[in-house]
Amino acid sequence: MAINNVDRTKFIRLLSLQSDLESFVGKEFEWFSNTGGNVIGTIALETGNKGWNYVVLKRKEMGEFRACEVACNFYNQAAARVDCMFAMAAAG
């Protein structure tokens, strides 16, 4: 499954709602989508303890996205990115 970087605008368009993920995972820095647009993910930096986090969302039968994987407190952005890519591939 191909996973691509997307900009925040496309990520929000895929999400189909004005979600406030930043209050949940932190300030978002990277956004991803698989080719079909049914699995999306974002990497964020938590402001409190400065750990890198990610959330992977998968489109359900009714078209809405639900979180299927959340991970927290990676020591750097690259480590969170690698784990997020594996989680997105597994969710696809």
User: Domain range for residue 56?
Assistant: 3-91
What letter would DSSP give residue 38? S
Question: Total domain count for the chain?
Answer: 1
Model confidence, pTM: 0.77
d(CA 42, CA 56): 7
CB 46 within 8 A of CB 72: yes
pLDDT single digits (tens) 20-60: 666 667 888 999 999 998 999 999 998 777 899 999 999 98
Percent of the chain with pLDDT over 70: 85
What count of other Cβ atoms lies within 10 Å of the Cβ of residue 75? 10
